[in-house]
């Protein structure tokens, strides 16, 4: 069950960087250090949560 929750969280987490990039383009701050750090942390979290489903428990 936890691996399903992690996969849903990782999939929905994709919207955070997408919306952040769109907002940053409108504001004209695409090269700001805080934006790059935020995007890197969001990507790392999505990767870690996405790998939560890699080891599924054996059934039966």
Rounded to two decimals, what is the model's pTM? 0.52
- pLDDT, residue 25, reads 92
Task: Give the pLDDT score at 7.
Answer: 79
Q: Supply the pLDDT for residue 27.
A: 92
Both tokens assigned to 6: 């992690």
Alpha-helical (H) ranges within the chain are 2-13, 15-27, 33-50
Q: pLDDT tens-digit profile of 2-58? A: 878 877 877 777 777 788 888 889 999 988 898 888 888 877 877 887 665 556 666
- What is the pLDDT at residue 3? 78
């Amino acid at each position: 069950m936890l691996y399903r929750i992690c996969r849903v969280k990782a999939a929905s987490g994709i919207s955070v960087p997408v919306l952040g990039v769109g907002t940053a383009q409108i504001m004209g701050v695409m090269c700001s250090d805080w934006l790059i750090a935020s995007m890197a942390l969001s990507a790392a979290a999505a990767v870690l949560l996405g790998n939560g489903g890699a080891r599924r428990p054996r059934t039966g």
